[in-house]
Amino acid sequence: MDKEKSKQMIKFCIAVVIFAIIILLVVTTMIRYEVEGDKNMPFNLSKIIIVSTAEGTETKGKKKWNFDIFQNNDVYIYIDKNENYSGEEKTIKSVKIENINITKAPTKGEVKAYMPNSVEGRIFSYEEEYLVDGKLEYKGASESNSKTLEIGSNGGNLIIRFSNTGLGEYNSDSDKEIIHDGTLLKKIEVSSEEINFDVSFDLVITVDNCSYRANMLLQLPCGDITEEGTCSMEKTDFSDLVFKRE
């Protein structure tokens, strides 16, 4: 009888150990997923290009030059097919930018997000109808087209502008010509320190049957545009970005 009890106890202990190992593996996998996110997505964020500058938009005035000054940051986001994806072939249904939040505001001006305009000519205009309200969605299509808010279903790119508005007006009769870049900020006595800001947003890539979401933080502008006029930056290392399946 004692021998039988011993056998039962050994079996019980083995079962407890196996159960504990299974729980440990599950918890470890969950923690790893929280930290690293999904590493086998059908599409990857391949690069981001930021172009920072400034420009003036004409206003009515008595001077030769009359401008409202805007500091602009155009963010180009590229999404490519993951050649190492081991699952079933997928296509992009949409890519969204959601939950835009100015986590660190500039000391001068007000940051607003703009979508590309839908008419010929300039990529962006400052009409209220092009303000991003809540989210910006690009639909999957045969190819990328910013004016129609479409991204290639097999990979493509999208663009959004973060503009610091209300920085001031420039009115002058003395300038022979005006260069529309970051040096305009000097003319209204705005420093690079006064226009720095941080913006975060969620990037949501939706494929045939699921979505992947990651939160992104950008520090803008990407350089000292008051001295250089226009600055650009390319980011290809996204080891700090965690995409999770929804």
- Banded pLDDT at 62 (limits 50, 70, 90): confident
Share of the chain above pLDDT 90, in %: 70
The pLDDT assigned to 35 comes to 47
Sign of the dihedral through C-alpha 144, 197, 53, 111: positive
Q: Which of 144, 164, 165 is nearest to 76 (CA)?
A: 144
The C-alpha atoms of residue 187 and residue 168 are separated, in whole angstroms, by 10
The pLDDT assigned to 15 comes to 72
The number of helix segments (H) and strand segments (E) in the chain equals: 4, 12
What is the widest separation between alpha-carbon atoms in the chain? 108
The pLDDT assigned to 33 comes to 45
Task: Encode pLDDT of 83-108 as tens digits.
Answer: 988 888 999 999 999 999 999 999 99
Six token digits for residue 163: 């503009």
Check: CB of residue 144 under 8 Å from CB of residue 152.
Answer: yes
Query: Mean pLDDT across the chain, nearest whole number?
Result: 89
- Mean pLDDT for the stretch of residues 160-179: 93
- Banded pLDDT at 29 (limits 50, 70, 90): very low
The C-alpha atoms of residue 216 and residue 213 are separated, in whole angstroms, by 10
- Banded pLDDT at 198 (limits 50, 70, 90): very high
Read off the amino acid at residue 187: K
Residue with tokens 């007000």: 110
Q: How far is CA 26 from CA 20, 22, 138, 212, 215, in A?
A: 10, 6, 36, 21, 25
The pLDDT assigned to 26 comes to 52
- Mean pLDDT for the stretch of residues 113-124: 87
DSSP-assigned letters across all residues of 61-120 = -SSSEEEEEEEEEEEEEEEEE-TT--SS-----EEEEEEEEEEE--SSSEEEEEPPPSSS
